Amino acid sequence: MRLANLLTASLATILAMTMPSAGQAPAPSATAEGSTFRYAYRVDPASLDPHALAETFTLSFLGQIYEPLVGRGKNLELVPALATRWEQPDPRTWRFHLRRDAAFSDGTPFTADDVVFSLRRAKMDGADVAYTITSVTEIRKVDDHTVDLVTAQPNPILPLQITSTYIMSRAWAERHGATAPASVKARVENYASNNANGTGPFMIESRQAGVRTVLVRNPNWRGDNASNLGKVVFTPIQSDATRVAALLSGEVDMAYPVPQQDVPRIEANAGTRVLKGFELRTIFLNMDQKRDELLGSDVKGKNPFKDRRVRQAIYQAINIDAIRDRIMGGSSHVAGTMIAPGINGYDPRLDVRAAPYDPEAAKRLLAEAGYPQGFSFPMDCSNDRYVNDERICQAVVGMLGRVGLKVSLNAQTRTKFFEKVLGRDTAFAMIGWQPLSYDAHSTLQDTMSTPADKIGTYNIGGYSNPKVDELTRLIETEVDPARRAALIVEAMDIDKQDYGHIPLHQAGLAWGLRAGVDVVLRSDDSLELRWVRVEPRTAAAAPR
């Protein structure tokens, strides 16, 4: 991550670069165009290229600048965005009727040419969002305000899949040499990496990657911007303590996520409050089941993770309830399956442990598999991406150690972590997944299907079961809701019985706000700036 050392600096060091000097309150939180909103999150957007990385926060941030054809409302329902309506003239074609009143922030009118260009760009090598339109085989301009997306097979859920597939200006990209995606994983950059030109409600005024990004209202936005914001100042603050201190001191209007142990202190402070909920992201463990020899292990010539008994032993050695209670402050939802409540296809019957926490049973399974003394292997983990990520991994290492598995932890910043694990350079890793479609098909296709061309992109352990692959293909094309739900349960249950992955939990959401700030807490952990309203600070509330 750029300037990672800066993100762990003291509160004074960070905010000195983004706020007025100590002893001075900022100018009143209003400009001639509206109020100023200052907020902090744990990381910076990985790129401003909308196709560069399919990471929830990066896509959420870019969703304030760019727009998809189909968007999401306050309750995650589908709503018109750059398309006013959509229909199926035949089972393999989705027709999108485009807005005639949309324009990019540089004033360029939005047309079908931009849609065709952007979706073709999103399918190129290096585009991390390619999986959202894998089923699309042809992108066809009908006229200046109509586009057809043709799929190989009938795909009833395509509008669900493209709600974070953003549209760029073809003319802008061509003018600035950004016609190809600037892949974060491949460490490729172009003009779009640090500049943006979208049709969304806000636009970039200035950006210092890793330090501060300033947004202002897009004068060409034609939509329902219910906010009273004229300017938005975003500061990435990796340290939980520093982020909370910035909120309590009044230096920021919002800080998230808030650690559970700090919630009572924030709620007890007269000038701040906490909004709470549950994430739709499932945190889970991945075991390399593809290589014939496990990376970094003292077992040579074979891969223990190919043995279901070993995978089950790891599962039964992990006390997920203890992780919830001791690390997550009791706020997480223990996961028995790979999708969260609220994801289409979720079935509570699957949301229970596959086998009980039982270290002695784990030891017996390891002995049966031929490892009575256990074995060693490395674990990859991020230390700045998910709530308490490094602490969770440390706990897992300790629990596995009690059954004889000697695990060496490699915790890194999210940029290095994703580069490593998405390059399949890992034996055992913890990752999170929130389907952009909010549908189980995405989890099946992207984290559980056998890795192939733009399929199984985030199946970093290489889990492979032909029946899961077959069911996933059927789920994408099945139009009968009851039949489709049954197929999802069947596929999810196969992975569960295989111990193909080890789901841990969905973390609790906690957003810290100062008094006088109203936001909409969505379960996808996405802050939509067009719904933020900020009351001017009183003299007592102004930072000192």
What digits encode the pLDDT tens for the residues 228-246? 999 999 999 999 999 999 9
CB 509 within 8 A of CB 279: yes
Report pLDDT digits (tens) over 442-470.
Answer: 999 999 999 998 899 999 999 999 999 99
Secondary structure class of 59 (helix, strand, coil): helix
Secondary structure class of 221 (helix, strand, coil): coil
Pairing of strands 136-143, 83-90: unpaired
Question: Mean per-residue pLDDT for 493-522?
Answer: 96
Q: How far is 24 from 445, CA to CA, in rounded Å? A: 52
Report pLDDT digits (tens) over 150-207.
Answer: 999 999 999 999 999 999 999 999 999 999 999 888 888 999 999 999 999 999 999 9
Report pLDDT digits (tens) over 337-370.
Answer: 999 999 999 999 999 999 999 999 999 999 999 9
Architecture category of domain 282-506 in CATH:
Roll (3.10)
pTM over 0.85: no
CB 204 within 8 A of CB 178: no
Q: Using only the alpha carbons of the chain, give its radius of gyration.
A: 23
Q: Inform me whether the pLDDT recorded for 34 exceeds 90.
A: no
Give kind and range of the element (H or E) at residue 183.
none
Q: Inform me whether the pLDDT recorded for 113 exceeds 70.
A: yes
Q: How far is 157 from 471, CA to CA, in rounded Å? A: 15
The reported pLDDT for the residue numbered 415 is 85
Contacts for 144 with CB less than 8 Å, ≥ 6 apart: 111, 112, 113
**Residue 167 DSSP symbol:** B
Q: How far is 264 from 273, CA to CA, in rounded Å? A: 9
Pairing of strands 282-287, 83-90: unpaired
Report pLDDT digits (tens) over 408-448.
Answer: 999 999 889 999 998 899 999 999 999 988 999 999 999 99
The reported pLDDT for the residue numbered 122 is 97
- Dihedral pair phi/psi, residue 347, rounded to 5°: -130, 115
Report pLDDT digits (tens) over 61-104.
Answer: 999 999 999 999 999 999 999 999 999 999 999 999 999 999 99
Q: Which two tokens stand for residue 355?
A: 């086998």
Q: Inform me whether the pLDDT recorded for 224 exceeds 90.
A: no
Report pLDDT digits (tens) over 287-311.
Answer: 999 999 999 999 999 999 999 999 9
The arrangement of strands across the sheet holding 282-287 comes to: 333-334, 501-506, 282-287, 428-433, 376-382, 406-412
Q: Is the sign of the CA dihedral 191, 454, 337, 156 positive or negative?
A: positive
Pairing of strands 93-98, 508-514: unpaired
Q: Inform me whether the pLDDT recorded for 3 exceeds 50.
A: no
Secondary structure class of 31 (helix, strand, coil): strand
Report pLDDT digits (tens) over 378-419.
Answer: 999 999 889 899 999 999 999 999 999 999 999 999 889 999
Q: Is 369 exposed, middle or buried (0-12, 13-18, 19+ CB in 10 A)?
A: middle
The confidence band for 28, taking pLDDT boundaries of 50, 70 and 90, is: very low
Q: How far is 161 from 437, CA to CA, in rounded Å? A: 4
CB 72 within 8 A of CB 520: no
Each domain of the chain, given as residue ranges in start order, spans 45-208, 282-506
The reported pLDDT for the residue numbered 538 is 61
> Please, what is the average pLDDT of the chain?
91
Within 150-239, residue ranges assigned H as helices are 158-161, 170-175
CB atoms within 10 A of CB 453: 8
Using the structure block, give the residue that is written with the tokens 């079935």: 347
Q: Inform me whether the pLDDT recorded for 27 exceeds 80.
A: no
CA distances from 123 to 29, 272, 309, 450, 454 (A): 42, 44, 39, 19, 9
**Residue 327 DSSP symbol:** I
The confidence band for 1, taking pLDDT boundaries of 50, 70 and 90, is: very low
CB 149 within 8 A of CB 139: yes
Report pLDDT digits (tens) over 309-342.
Answer: 999 999 999 999 999 999 998 989 999 999 999 9
Least trusted range by pLDDT, from 170-179, 223-232, 507-516: 223-232
Contacts for 470 with CB less than 8 Å, ≥ 6 apart: none
Give, to the nearest 10 degrees, the angle between helix 308-317 and helix 359-368: 160
Q: Which two tokens stand for residue 412?
A: 């890194």
**Which CATH number is correct for 45-208, 3.40.50.1820, 3.90.76.10, 3.20.20.60, 3.40.50.300?**
3.90.76.10
CB 68 within 8 A of CB 133: no
The reported pLDDT for the residue numbered 225 is 77
